[in-house]
Amino acid sequence: MARKMWVALGLCGFVGWGEFVHWRASRAEVGVRSGAGSEAVVVLGFRNGPGARANALNRWRVRAALRSIDRAVGTSILICSGGSGAGSVSEAALLARYAVAERGFAGPVQLEDRSRSTWQNVENLIPLIEHVDQIKFVSNPLHAQKARLYLRHQRPDLAARVVRSVDYRLGEAFPLKPLFALYGLRDLTRAKRSLAAQQL
């Protein structure tokens, strides 16, 4: 009985740690929202495979992007970002198709369909976001933090316009969060080391 109790406590602690890591990442590298007249909500694609429909993770990212749209903002543009992976259709196109055809999004949509990495995502997005008042990156929170970090290095002036999206919700997909946290923290650490090395 005692052993089961300790196992249960350990699992609860692991899940709680995953929640905390995602909560903290969702609030990193962001500013405070203001009365913006326009915003860009950028959803970053994930490797999709050869199918003609966005996979489960990409569909979740689109839903998080749609709930991140601020109805009080005058103009909100949904930007879908990601090049072609294993399939002939780009991740950006699959994300946009899901948002419009399956989720009923009727607002303006733009595609960035040339990127093969997060660094390229941010680099290629700059012409699409530099005219808006506020910017939101939507992905798994740690991946979105990585994108915000890259923007701060590529265009610090635009990074000052980045605000928090709604890609974190308490308890959402909680069994997977510890695994995403382990991978995301390792990936984020590598990104920070790479940026630090570039500055030497």
Domain membership flag for residue 8: no
User: Looking up tokens 């316009």, which residue turns up?
Assistant: 161
Domain membership flag for residue 190: yes
Domain membership flag for residue 33: yes
Task: Convert the pLDDT of each residue in 61-88 to its tens digit.
Answer: 999 999 999 999 999 999 999 998 766 7
Domain membership flag for residue 148: yes
| Measured distance CA(75)–CA(57) in Å, rounded | 27
Stretch 129-156: mean pLDDT? 97
65 token code pair: 């992007």
Mean pLDDT value across the chain:
92
Domain membership flag for residue 18: no
Under the banding of pLDDT at 50, 70 and 90, the label for residue 167 is very high
Domain membership flag for residue 20: no
Classified as helix, coil or strand, 78 is strand
Whole domain around residue 36: which residue ranges? 25-198
Share of the chain above pLDDT 90, in %: 78
Task: Convert the pLDDT of each residue in 37-53 to its tens digit.
Answer: 999 999 999 988 777 89
Task: Indicate the number of domains in the chain.
Answer: 1
Domain membership flag for residue 4: no
- Of 4-13, 34-43, 50-59, the one with minimum mean pLDDT is 4-13
Task: Convert the pLDDT of each residue in 92-101 to its tens digit.
Answer: 999 999 999 9
CATH number at residue 181: 3.40.50.620
Q: For the chain, how many residues are written?
A: 200
Q: What is the pLDDT of residue 23?
A: 97
Listed as own residue / partner, the contacts of 180-186 with beta carbons closer than 8 Å and 24 or more positions apart are 180/18, 180/22, 180/140, 180/142, 181/17, 181/18, 181/21, 181/22, 181/142, 184/21, 184/25, 184/140, 184/141, 184/142, 184/143, 184/146, 185/21, 185/142
Domain membership flag for residue 167: yes
